[in-house]
Structure 1
Amino acid sequence: MSQEEEFAADEVDDSDLSAGALSVKPWDPAKIRITTKNFSLREVVQQINDGEVDLAPDFQRDYVWKERQRTRLIESVLLGIPLPAFYFNQDRDGSYQVVDGVQRLSTISLFMRDGHLLDRRDLEYLDDLHGSNYSKLKPAALRRFRSTQIVVHVIEPQTPDEVKYDIFGRVNTLGSPLSAQEIRHAMSKPRSRAFLRELSELASFDIATDWHFWRKDPSTGARIRDSGRMTNRELALRFCAFVDFNYDEYRSHSSLDAFLVEVTRRLDGTSESERSISAPELGALRNRFDRAMEAAAVLLGRAAFRRMPPGQSRRGPINRAVFESQAIALSEYPITELRPFAQEIERKFRQAFDDAKYSKAVTVGTGDPNAVAYRLDQPRLILRRILDA
């Protein structure tokens, strides 16, 4: 297998997601607030235009519908075929974020702005509409399209975030179930989205992860970004979450997922229980993340962020917990201070997997506070011993 083929075959290790809960706590059904509303397409598109409904424009951007899918959806509406239900998250300010149905609403909004032409090759029944956009529809078809009703299940703001997260995790979309980070992204605001995107698209991150979050466009052969269902942003979020780890603060959350939701709110400046992360602090976080990625690429190379014990030539996939463990330790030193010890740092970091407790902390029950503390401490101790020798 060539090096490029090996990189393409790599996945992100999901074994560390199997037991993330800090405690088992069934949700009180009385806290769940879900209402079902009916909107006309005209109403919901007007709300999108007014900024009252947030489509999270870069959400699921790697899964944008093709022309054929868009045309078939428009044709279904014009034929009077009911659309599947949508799921919205309602924020405290009354605005909505679309959690399930982004592509459908994006397509409808695009069409109603004359941004999509119907093509005979993609129409199954209404081929007389070939070449038509929204404005060219006959008055009867326009009225039918605008007045089409959609069913929206709204998760109301008084529902706790942890409960919302669990509800959205159960939602099956028309494609694949939402990933954990896609759910957090859908519940977030532009500030955190932009910041996590910036971190995950740094050149240093691309190099440190060995260009894992890129793929070849089959039609052109060009390399394009592939977020891996937003796993790249989840790695950046986890770095931000654990960079100044506080054991007691972490334990106050019901699960790792709940903690990451709260950190997202801190990045957005919308947390009601914790201090928001200021703009200067975001800048410092970015610099520290960039420094960690540079160091990982230079010092660890192919072994960065993967379980790769000594003597093993074939590396494992990127592991979220290993990413936190190695990146945060490396972020605490300038590369000039670490570079002279590159070989020893790589050897010691790989030897860490021979420690059964460390290996367990990055693979099993990784949300447990003791596992988090242990895996964050070990690379720090390794660097301290090397530099103090």
Structure 2
Amino acid sequence: MNNNLSTPIKEEIEGLSLDEDSAWADYPIDTILIRNENRTVHDVLRRIEKGAFVMDPDFQRDFIWPDDKQSKLIESVLMRIPLPVFYLAENDEGKMVVVDGLQRLSTFQRFVNDELRLKLPEQKELNKKRFSDLSPKLQNRIEDCNLILYIIDAKVPQKALLDIFERVNSGVPLTRQQMRNCLFSGKATSFLRTEASTPIFKRATGNSLQPSTMRDREIINRFCAFKLLNKNDYRGDMDQYLAETLKHMNTLDNAALERLSSQFRTSLKNNYTVFGKHAFRKHQEHQESRNVFNASLWDVMSVCLSRYSENIVEARAEMIRDGFYALMENDDFIESITLGTNQVNRVKRRFDLAKQMIEEAINA
């Protein structure tokens, strides 16, 4: 086992249902609302300054274009070469989240603000020039450049919105959690980022969840969902459920988020106390080798063991382990954490069985 908690171990994750890959037939055609607008660079940058565009989703920070590529974009505009369209998604606050085109808009912003010096050695009249060094004619050509914006309406169903993200994004492919992180940026996404960085989270999960794809934050998002929302409201659409959780978390005050953080960290300590390196993984008594992380097992064990103090769990650790090993022999439970795990009946079944087991172990 790799004890270096700074470098995640690359391994598969079990218990994540593959039915998140939806079909377009699932959506009534009239619900896919996309409108187009034409705006100049000057107009878009003014809106960015006013905070009307969400321009800094933290998953994009590692994907900044180098200066020479940014310079080529400015050169294209000066040469009047048409640009590809931009895709934006309107959020519930009426702000525009940049789905595709963030790097191009960031380039315009940097150049007009004199933060970019052009690297165009073959264009001597432009090379090493900043925006303020250009003639008024060329400055106007930049600011008057027409951008075609396709705007995805806020009423579009969450699952359809994520599918649109996947289809139109021309940059680095994004995971569903990275998309949610962009759409619901705020207290909720800050909470996920903070909790994913703690040593106890990395230790309890065996450092198996990749930060680069936000798999670590997705798992924490799942804990928050089943901890905060009524499980009876779950309708089989995990994307929607996780999105509703982030929206709800963004409305919570700091005290509520601090309580949630305390409950979450208590759960991590409890699971590690009881199961050690096997936490959130299928395993049998006396097993030495470590199985892969199971997201559905995480759902039930993280939520169920968040309800008890560390002292109580430590005192009942052996009985909880015995109960868990019995669940590992229960075909109904194993099926609920392995196959079609997003199905409503499987979610309900695994929570019912795990909750019953832990209550019996605690109260025995």
Same fold per superposition (TM over 0.5): yes
Cα distance change of structure 1 residues 193 and 106 upon mapping to structure 2, 3 Å threshold = farther
Tell me whether 376-385 or 320-329 shows the greater mean CA deviation.
376-385
Deviation at 1:240, TM superposition (A): 1.0
Instruction: Determine if contact 2:281/2:293 at 8 Å carries over to the other structure.
Output: yes
Cα distance change of structure 1 residues 341 and 234 upon mapping to structure 2, 3 Å threshold = same
What SS does structure 1 have at the residue aligned with 2:89? strand
Q: Distance in 1 between matches of 2:194 and 2:303?
A: 18
Partner of 1:38: 38
What SS does structure 2 have at the residue aligned with 1:45? helix
What SS does structure 1 have at the residue aligned with 2:201? helix
Partner of 2:308: 333
Partner of 1:139: 136
Deviation at 1:212, TM superposition (A): 4.1
Cα distance change of structure 1 residues 20 and 130 upon mapping to structure 2, 3 Å threshold = closer
Superposition map of 1:264-343 within 5 A? 264-269=246-251, 277-310=252-285, 312-342=287-317
Cα distance change of structure 1 residues 307 and 86 upon mapping to structure 2, 3 Å threshold = farther
Deviation at 1:52, TM superposition (A): 0.8
| 2:172 maps to amino acid | G
Q: Number of paired residues?
A: 363
What SS does structure 1 have at the residue aligned with 2:357? helix
What SS does structure 2 have at the residue aligned with 1:366? coil
- Cα deviation 1:281-330 (Å, max 9, x = unaligned): 32221211121122233333322233444565443443322221221122
Q: Distance in 2 between matches of 1:48 and 1:264?
A: 24
Q: Distance in 2 between matches of 1:208 and 1:291?
A: 11
Deviation at 1:34, TM superposition (A): 0.8
Partner of 2:176: 180
Cα distance change of structure 1 residues 132 and 342 upon mapping to structure 2, 3 Å threshold = farther
What SS does structure 1 have at the residue aligned with 2:141? helix
The partner residue of 2:192 within 184, 189, 196 is 196
Q: Distance in 2 between matches of 1:345 and 1:22?
A: 38
Instruction: Determine if contact 2:53/2:98 at 8 Å carries over to the other structure.
Output: yes
Instruction: Determine if contact 2:15/2:341 at 8 Å carries over to the other structure.
Output: no
Tell me whether 331-340 or 351-360 shows the greater mean CA deviation.
351-360
Partner of 1:260: 242
Tell me whether 44-53 or 260-269 shows the greater mean CA deviation.
260-269
Partner of 1:217: none
Cα distance change of structure 1 residues 350 and 100 upon mapping to structure 2, 3 Å threshold = farther
Cα distance change of structure 1 residues 157 and 115 upon mapping to structure 2, 3 Å threshold = same
Superposition map of 1:197-236 within 5 A? 197-212=193-208, 227-236=211-220
Q: Distance in 2 between matches of 1:241 and 1:132?
A: 51
Q: Distance in 2 between matches of 1:143 and 1:137?
A: 10
Q: Distance in 2 between matches of 1:212 and 1:363?
A: 18
Deviation at 1:155, TM superposition (A): 0.9
Partner of 2:60: 60
| 2:108 maps to amino acid | I
Deviation at 1:14, TM superposition (A): 6.2
| 1:333 maps to amino acid | Y
Superposition map of 1:5-84 within 5 A? 8-11=8-11, 13=13, 16-20=16-20, 26-84=26-84
Cα distance change of structure 1 residues 367 and 247 upon mapping to structure 2, 3 Å threshold = same
> Does structure 1 residue 241 correspond to structure 2 residue 237?
no
What SS does structure 2 have at the residue aligned with 1:131? coil
Instruction: Determine if contact 1:289/1:331 at 8 Å carries over to the other structure.
Output: yes
- Cα deviation 1:196-250 (Å, max 9, x = unaligned): 223323332233233445xxxxxxxxxxxx6232222211211111015634311
Structure 1 portions without partners, runs of 5+:
214-225, 270-276
Query: Alignment identity in percent?
Result: 28
Instruction: Determine if contact 1:22/1:369 at 8 Å carries over to the other structure.
Output: no
Deviation at 1:62, TM superposition (A): 3.8
Cα distance change of structure 1 residues 363 and 38 upon mapping to structure 2, 3 Å threshold = farther
Instruction: Determine if contact 1:23/1:255 at 8 Å carries over to the other structure.
Output: no
Instruction: Determine if contact 2:14/2:293 at 8 Å carries over to the other structure.
Output: no
Instruction: Determine if contact 1:22/1:256 at 8 Å carries over to the other structure.
Output: no
Tell me whether 157-166 or 185-194 shows the greater mean CA deviation.
157-166
Instruction: Determine if contact 2:39/2:147 at 8 Å carries over to the other structure.
Output: yes
Partner of 1:380: 355
Instruction: Determine if contact 1:208/1:301 at 8 Å carries over to the other structure.
Output: yes
| 1:206 maps to amino acid | K
Q: Distance in 1 between matches of 2:306 and 2:22?
A: 27
- Cα deviation 1:230-271 (Å, max 9, x = unaligned): 2222112111110156343113xx6121222222222233xx
Tell me whether 17-26 or 314-323 shows the greater mean CA deviation.
17-26
Q: TM-score, normalised by structure 1?
A: 0.80
Partner of 1:360: 335
Cα distance change of structure 1 residues 146 and 292 upon mapping to structure 2, 3 Å threshold = same
Partner of 1:218: none
Deviation at 1:331, TM superposition (A): 0.9
| 2:239 maps to amino acid | D
Partner of 1:97: 97
Q: Distance in 1 between matches of 2:334 and 2:317?
A: 22
